[in-house]
Structure 1
């Protein structure tokens, strides 16, 4: 393993600062989490984007959220014999082992993954169509969402609508998992679709009764 390098000094400095302050002041809580295990009330599926800070948005403490991040906050359809198992495994563990009461799918503005899907589906990014593109094959999950917004003439509005379709497609795909569907129908689990505007800090939620996203 000659490729692994020592941690950069600024990361080490930040760690030591956390250990001396936040950890030291809450040492009993951390030890309790370690001894008793996690009991998160919710799973959050969000984008890898570094600008999306889930715990800050909701003011969450350690142990409160089971967080899974991937490109464009997507959930693939239920495919036991498929290849997209990372997100599926996280969903399975959250629902069947941790028994979370909520799954929040959190999309956001200016999502690079969604923009890539838009460009791929509109013929502007042929490199993403290559079988060798991991991003392109992952963004195939969002193609049904692109088909639903393709008629929007303004490109910026179409891309913004596709960001929200990424949330809806993921919720639809969640319901294709038998254990998720069973838990939802038994009212042990609730699914929530959210979209966050990074620039102005607003948070919108999908309202099925109105078939649109509204401000929280």
Structure 2
């Protein structure tokens, strides 16, 4: 009768137990390993740097600039009075612009202000007022005619009539009588300009009326 050696036979139960133990160990190792997330990848964008433009050495470089604005002159806060105007005796004018050169006109004095002359016309001399009426022409008295004569007389600086001009008359006889009386008897206070006697013209009218 033959006997089998039991030590040489593998024990199935031991093998199965060993496999279970190994599986548990492997599972524990896997679970024990920390969860490693994938590394975040940062994408970098390259921006090209443009090189400055290089001009040829023989090409001129033109620089542009804006001229600075000139300040406006300040306006006067009040109008000059008469005394201020009188104190300014000269003036000058500047012509031209920036870059063209200034042209300065010579200063010229203001002309003196001349007041208007005061003129006073000739007046009848009160001492000769009764000598103004001419002699009534005898022929006009006989004809019982009345009328008038208007003349222009040139009065000299002495008050005498130097010239007589006819303006109008109702009859030549009245005009002739008036002319003779003016040259012989009429006297005036002469006209004056700034107090000085001057010749002047004056128009006079004489009426001829018959007594009632």
Quickly name the TM-score band, shorter chain normalised: under 0.3
Structure number with higher helix proportion: 1
What is the TM-score with the length of structure 2 in the denominator? 0.14
Higher relative contact order (CA 8 A, sep 6+): 1
